Amino acid sequence: MNVTDAHNFEQSYRAHSSVLDDPFYTVPPESAYAAAGSLLKVEVSTNTSLYTLPPNLSLSRFMYQSKKSNGSLVPVSGYILWPYAAKSNNNKGYPMVAWAHGTSGSAAECAPSNIQFLWHQFQAPYQLALNGYVVVATDYAGLGVSRDAAGQPIVHEYLNRAIQATDLYYSIPAAQQAFPELSREFIAAGQSQGGGTVWSFAQKVVSEPLPGHLGTVALSPGTSLFDLPTDQPIIKIVLLYLVPNLRANYPDFNPTDIFTPVGMQSLQTLTELQGCSNLVSQLIESDILKQGWQNNLSIQEFNKVSTTGTQAIGGPMLVLQGEADPVVNAPKVEAAINDTITKFPDSQIEFHLMPNVTHAPIMYAGLPIYLQWISSRFAGEPVKAGFQNFTATLARPTAIYEADANWFIQKQSESYQVA
């Protein structure tokens, strides 16, 4: 394991040294009882020199009130990425995409708003902004803002998709309050953890409509904990990240019930260093899980409340899934769609299967599809009811495509480091 190097690398791409040192993430004491959806704080013009953004994009950060799974109020941070010139929207204000990010970690330090490349960089938020959309992105509760107005620690309820959907839901009116020039109309979009989040969001707006919702884009959407492949590293990562959530909401849960002694050491290291995705990759090389972890009652109860795909959805939904995804199983996603359509035949779901595409690269491979789909929703084009199923046709043979990114975005430190 190379824990020290991974941790140092992780720290190197923070926009600010720590969320604990950045006053922005401190909650105003008077905001404790502000209603959900209220704007608590806004940084209108964030210093973009601290980030690795494309030229001519602008950044804001904001804090707003959301709700936890027990219904209590919780402050949440997020960012707003602004295009140079907003896409035309028939004088309805700047068109907005509410973005739900994929897994970055479960510690406060893992907030995309404090990551130089906003976690998903050109994979999605940069692309959306460069195409003229304002990107409103929640960090999710517990990431970024570490303590509430009373000074109590906030736990990130990792993979509770309904709760992350709640965070997304309340980020929208808060952003509109901060910036009235934003359109009342919006698209909800997300990938992986965020893909499951926006699917859950589409379920939430059935009973709690949010005016202006035009549709949902779910990229490689996780639907159930037990759908994750148990023979892949992802299950170890997910369970390490889940521990704070399980400890907070399931009093009988004990990590020693599912982790080996080596796994408990990995958990301790992750917790002490407040590590995120780079660090955790170095903590899963050994057998950290006990056999039969799936039988843990707390985990089974958690899976019941966190599964998506079994309820009605509000508005049209586009789902993009990589056939070679080692994290989210394509047949499981399609089964969840079929289940939804069977129970709710009037659902409007368009599904695209992308051959030879893995997990995060779905955001690149599916870019032309979801940009066109989003544009059509803002244009008011009608959507057919039922299930539209497509398989992408590749321009070239599958074997000659690079399956995963082999590069990383870092800040320029010398004048000759130009592209």
Fold type of domain 22-223+314-393: Rossmann fold (3.40.50)
Q: What is the pLDDT of residue 398?
A: 87
Q: List the pLDDT tens digit at each of the 419 positions of the chain.
A: 589 999 999 999 999 999 999 999 999 999 999 999 999 999 999 999 999 999 999 999 999 999 999 999 999 999 999 999 999 998 899 999 999 999 999 999 999 999 999 999 999 999 999 999 999 999 999 999 999 999 999 999 999 999 999 999 999 999 999 999 999 999 999 999 999 999 999 999 999 999 999 999 999 998 899 999 988 899 999 999 999 999 999 999 999 999 999 999 999 999 999 999 999 999 998 899 999 999 999 999 999 989 888 899 999 999 999 999 999 999 999 999 999 999 999 999 999 999 999 999 999 999 999 999 999 999 999 999 999 999 999 999 988 998 899 999 988 888 888 87
Q: Which long-range contacts (CB under 8 A, 24 or more apart) does 297-302 make?
A: 297/252, 298/246, 298/250, 298/252, 298/253, 299/225, 299/242, 299/246, 299/253, 299/258, 301/250, 302/159, 302/160, 302/225, 302/242, 302/245, 302/246, 302/249, 302/250
What pLDDT is attached to residue 1? 59
The mean pLDDT value of the chain amounts to 95
Question: Beta partners for 319?
Answer: 218, 351
Question: With b meaning 16 or more CB within 10 Å and e meaning fewer, what string describes 149-166?
Answer: beeeebbbbbbbbbbbbb
The 3-state secondary structure of 302-351 reads HHHHHCCCCCCCCCCEEEEEECCCCCCCHHHHHHHHHHHHHHCCCCEEEE
**Closest to 35 in 3D by CA, of 202, 173, 155:** 173
